Structure 1
Amino acid sequence: MFVAVHVGAGKHSDAKWNGYKKLCKKACARGMDLLRSGVDSNKVVVEVSKILEDSPLTNAGTGSQLTVKGTVECDASIMDSNGSGMGIGSVSGVTHPTELALQCLDELQKPKHTSFGRTLPRLLNGQSGVDLTGHPTCQDEQLITKESLAVHLYWKDAIANQTEVVTTGDRDIDETIASKTDVIEDTVGVICFDLKTISVGSSSGGPTMKPCGRIGPAAILGSGIHVQSINSSSSDSPTTPTITACCASGHGETIMERHLASKCCTLVQTHQGNVDSALCDALGSSDPPYVGVMLTVVSPDYAELGYAFGTDSMILGYASERNSGVIAERKGSTTMRGAVIM
C-alpha cells in the first residue's frame, strides 16, 4: 500500500515552503491511515484530496485562483486501474471537486444511465455534475481567500493599466503576488494503491485571470492524469512493471497539447520500466516545458515513485508501510528522480 501527493509544479513561496511540506506529510499520513483501515483507493484519493483542497496554500478548492470575473471555477478528475475515470470541469461553488468527480462516476455507472448501450461520459461541465449528483454547493466567498483575491486584484489592475503594482504593503500578500508573476498553474495530485487498485486524482483552480468556462488538464483524463497497464516484454522478468499512474502539473495548455500524463505512462513501457529515462524523454533536458509530473510504477514485487519538473520548484510527499518522505526541490535544470517506495 502507498499514497503519494504533490502540491504543484510551479513557483512556491519561500515563506510557505515549510507549510507545503507539512501539508504533504499530513495528507500522506491520512492516506495511510485510511488504507490500513481498508478504505478503497478511489475513496482514499478523495479524502486525501480534501486535505489539499481545504488548504489555502494550494490552488485547488479553497484558495483557488480567480477567473477574469473574480469567480472560482475548479477542475478535477479521478481514474483507476480498473478502467474507470471521470473529469469535472469549470465547477463553481464546490469545496471538494475531486469528491464531485467520483460521485459523478459512481452515479453514471448505475444501470439507469447505462441501459440501451449508452456510453459512460468521461467529462462533465461543473453544473451538470452538481445537477446529476445533488452535490451541495456554497457561495464563492467561502472559497476565496485574502491572498487569492489580492492576486486577482493585482492582475486586474496591471492588465487595465498595462503596468505592474510593486507592493501592497502586506508581506504575505506581496510574497504570494511575487510567486504569481510567472505562468503558474499549480495543480495538486494524489496517487494511491490499496494492494488491488491504483487510483489517481487531480484538482486545480486553474490560472489566475483565466476566462470563465476554461477547462484545464486537471479535468482531462490522459492529459492531467492517467493510469495504464504495461505489457511485459519479458514475462518472466520479476522487475517488469505492470501498472503505471501519472499526474501532471504546471502550464495547463502545454500539458493538454502533449497529453502529458498518458505520454509519460507510455514512455515507461518504451523504456522497459526505466522511470528516469521515461521522464527524461517526456520532458527533455535542454529546454524543458514549464510542467512537472509525478509517476508511480507498480509490479508484483515493488512500487517506484518518480518525478520530474521544468518549473521553478516542485513539492511532493509519499508514504507506505516501507518508508515515507517529503521531497521539496528547486530547479537547477530539469530534475528527475526515482525511488522504490514499496
Structure 2
Amino acid sequence: VVEPVLIVHGGAGTVSEDRIPGKLRGVTLAATVGYQVLARNGTVVEAVEQAVRIMEADRFFNAGYGAALNIEGDVELDASIMDGATKATGSLSGLRDLLHPISLARDVMERSGHNFLIGDGLVSFALDRGFRFLEPPGQLVTQYSMDALEEWKASDQSYRSGEGGTVGAVAIDANGNIAAATSTGGVTGKRVGRVGDTPIIGSGTYADNGLGGVSLTGDGDIIMKVCLAYDVLRTAQLTDRALQPVADELLDAMSAALGGTAGLVALDRVGNVAVAHNSLHMSWAYQRGDTVAYGASKEDFNLMPATDTPFDPLPGGM
C-alpha cells in the first residue's frame, strides 16, 4: 500500500517578490484541495483535475484566468491530462474563453475517442459536452497580463518564459494509481496558434503507474525538443536511480545543450517526491498525510499542518 500524495507546481520562471506570497497561497490551496479528493477515495484523475482547477481560477498563475497573452492580446490556452493506469490521455490547444481547460482536457481523454483536439472541432466538442464559454469574450485577461504584454513589446521580444506560471499536478493513491495534469497560457507575446510543451504528452505531462508521474513548466519550445517528461521517468527507471537526481541532471543537460530553463514536480511509482527547477523560482506544494510542504525557490522548503491552509477558495479572485 502506498501513502497517497498530491503535488503541484505554479510555474518555473523569475517572479517578482510581491507576487510570491500569492503563488504560495495558490499552490498550497491547490495541493490540499487535490489531496482531499484522494482522502475521500476519489480517483487520481479527479484529484489532479481539481488541483489544477484551483490554479486556473487564480489570477496569480498563467493558466485560465490571468493567463499570458498572445501578440494580439488574447488568451489561448493549452492543457493535458494523463491516467497512469490506462495510459489514457487528453490534450487541447488554442482554447479561448474557457476558465477550466483541464476539465475539457479530461473530457477529451474520457469522451472524445481521441487524444488531442484543437480548433473548431474542440469548440464544438466542448459545447456538445455542456461547457459554457465566457460571454463576452476576453474575461480571462487581467491587468497584470496586459502590462506584461506591453513590457514584452517594449523589450527584446524573446520568447523566454518570464514569470512562467504554467500550473500542474501529479497524484498517487493508496493503490499506486498515478495521474498528471498541466495547464497554461503559454508565453507572453506568442504568435497566434503557437503550441508549447504543456499539451504534448511526454514533453509537458506524463503518467504511468509503472514509472511515475510528472508535470513540466518552463521554456516549452525547448522542453519539447527533449521530451523531458517521459525522459525523466524513463531514465530513472533504466538507471535504477531516484527521480530527484535524475530530474536535476536532465534539466541542467537540457539547458546546457539548448538553453532555456525549466522545472517539474514528479512522483515515482511508490510516491517519492521530486521537485526540480533551474529557473530562479518555481512555486510548488505537496500534501502527504496531515502535512503540507511548499516553497518558491531552490533553498525554500517549508512544512505546515494541512489544517493551517485557511485560504480563500479563490485566492486570486475573479
**TM-score (structure 1 length as normaliser):** 0.78
Deviates more, 1:313-322 or 1:52-61: 313-322
1:141 aligned counterpart, secondary structure: coil
Structure 2 residue aligned with 1:130? 123
Show the counterpart of 2:202.
222
How far, CA to CA, are the matches of 1:5 and 1:136 in structure 2?
A: 26
Q: CA deviation at 1:30?
A: 0.9
Of 160, 173, 188, the residue aligned with 1:208 is 188
Question: Residue deviations 1:239-285, cap 9 Å, x none?
Answer: xxx43111111001011011110111111112203223312331237
Mark the runs of 5 or more structure 2 residues left unpaired by the alignment.
Answer: 302-318
SS at match of 1:140: coil
Identity %: 25
Equivalent position amino acid for 1:131 in 2: S
2:283 to 298, 312, 315: 315
| C-alpha distance in 2 between matches for 1:126 and 1:262 | 26
Contact 1:225 1:247 (8 Å CA) reproduced: yes
Distance 1:295 1:32 in 2: 15
Residue 127 to residue 92, structure 1, CA distance change in 2 (3 Å): farther
For 1:17-32, list aligned pairs within 5 A: 17-32=20-35
Name the structure 1 match of 2:314.
none
Residue aligning to 1:329: 297
Residue of 225, 228, 236 corresponding to 1:268: 236
1:153-186 Cα offsets, whole Å, 9 max, x none, are 3333x26xx7x9xxxxxxxxxxxxxxx9954343
Report 1:123-272 matches (<5 A). Answer: 123-134=116-127, 135-138=131-134, 139-156=136-153, 158=154, 183-184=161-162, 185-196=164-175, 197-229=177-209, 242-272=210-240
> What CA distance in whole angstroms lies between the structure 1 residues aligned with 2:44 and 2:216?
19
Verify the 8 A CA contact 1:92 1:126 in the aligned structure 2.
Answer: no
**What residue identity is the alignment partner of 1:216?**
G
- State the alpha-carbon separation in 2 of the partners of residues 104 and 276 from structure 1: 31
Q: Is the 8 A contact 2:9 2:264 kept in 1?
A: no
Secondary structure, in 3 states, of the residue corresponding to 2:272? strand
Q: Secondary structure at the match of 1:319?
A: strand
Partner of 2:264: 293
SS of residue in 1 equivalent to 2:17: coil
Distance 1:50 1:127, change over 3 A: farther
- Kindly indicate whether the alpha-carbon contact (under 8 Å) linking 1:190 and 1:202 is maintained by their aligned counterparts in 2: yes
> For structure 1, which segment, 282-291 or 251-260, has the greater mean C-alpha deviation from structure 2 after superposition?
282-291
1:286-315 Cα deviation digits (max 9, x unpaired): 94741112111123xxx2111221111111
Matched, 1:283 2:243: no
2:49 to 46, 49, 54: 46
Instruction: Provide the aligned C-alpha RMSD in A.
Output: 2.3
- Kept after mapping to 1: 8 A contact 2:203/2:224: yes
Distance 2:18 2:141 in 1: 20
- Structure 1: which 5+ runs fail to align? 110-120, 165-179, 230-241, 338-342
